[in-house]
Structure 1
Amino acid sequence: MMRSHFICLIVVSMMIMLLDMPSQSYAASEPVCTYRNSEDETIFIKYLPLLKRGQDYVDFGKDGKCLKRAICTDTFKTIVEDCSTQKITCNNKDRHTGVFPACCIKCH
C-alpha cells in the first residue's frame, strides 16, 4: 500500500514538472526578427516586450570594424543601420555610448 502511494506521488510530480516546461513548438513559434550577416549566416533577434526594446546584433567585418547593426522592433521587423550612413569620426567617437556606431571606424 505504501509503495503504491509512493509511485503515484512520483508519477504526479513528473506530470506537474512536464506541464510546467515550455513546449518545443511554443518556443520555436515565438516571433523573432531575422538578419543575414556579412558571412551569409541567418541571425535571429528577439524583441523583449517587458523591456519594451529589441535586441540588436552588430555585424563585424573581418578587419574588426563593424559594418551594420540590426535591431528587432515591436512589430518584429528588422531595422538595419549601415555604417556608411553614420556621421562618426575619430574626434566624435567618444560621444557615442555602446558599441555601435563607434565600431564603424578604427582610430590609432
Structure 2
Amino acid sequence: MKIVLAFLMLAGLLAIGVNAGSEPVCSYRNNAGETIFLKYLPLLKQGQDYVDFGADGKCMKRAVCTENFKTEVEDCAKHRVTCGNKKTFPGVFPGCCVKC
C-alpha cells in the first residue's frame, strides 16, 4: 500500500513539473551561479525582473524578461546614481547601486 501511495505522489510531482516547463520563460545566471527563471506576463504587458545583489548589499545588475522572451540585463555602471540623486530613481533599481 505504501509503495502504491509513494508511486502516485511521484507521478503527481512529475506531472506538475512537465506542466510548469511548457510555458516559455527567460533565464538569468546570477552572481552566485544560480539560474533564475523569469516570466513575461502578457495580460499586464510586463516582464518579471530580478535584481542581482552583491555581498556588500549593493545591486550590480537587473534582468528583465521581454515580450519575445529574451532577457535584457541592465548594469549599474550604465546609471549615474549618487547618494544625492538616489531618491529620484523610482523602484529598487538602480537606486540600490550605491550604499549611503
What is the TM-score normalised by the length of structure 2?
A: 0.81
Q: 2:79 maps to what in 1?
A: 86
Superposition deviation, residue 26 in structure 1: 3.0
Please state if 1:74 is matched with 2:67: yes
- Aligned positions of 1:1-108 closer than 5 A: 24-107=17-100
Superposition deviation, residue 23 in structure 1: 5.8
Superposition deviation, residue 48 in structure 1: 0.5
| Aligned equivalents of 1:86, 1:24: Cα separation in 2 | 39
Structure showing greater radius of gyration is 1
Identical positions, percent: 65
| Aligned equivalents of 1:97, 1:70: Cα separation in 2 | 16
Q: Which runs of 5+ in 1 are unaligned?
A: 1-21
Q: What's the Cα RMSD here?
A: 1.3
Superposition deviation, residue 87 in structure 1: 1.1
| Aligned equivalents of 1:55, 1:90: Cα separation in 2 | 27
4+ residue runs over 6 A deviation: none
What is the TM-score normalised by the length of structure 1?
A: 0.76
Question: SS of the counterpart of 1:27?
Answer: helix
Superposition deviation, residue 27 in structure 1: 2.2
| Aligned equivalents of 1:59, 1:25: Cα separation in 2 | 28
Instruction: Work out the number of aligned pairs and report it.
Output: 86
Q: 2:11 maps to what in 1?
A: none
Q: Which runs of 5+ in 2 are unaligned?
A: 1-14
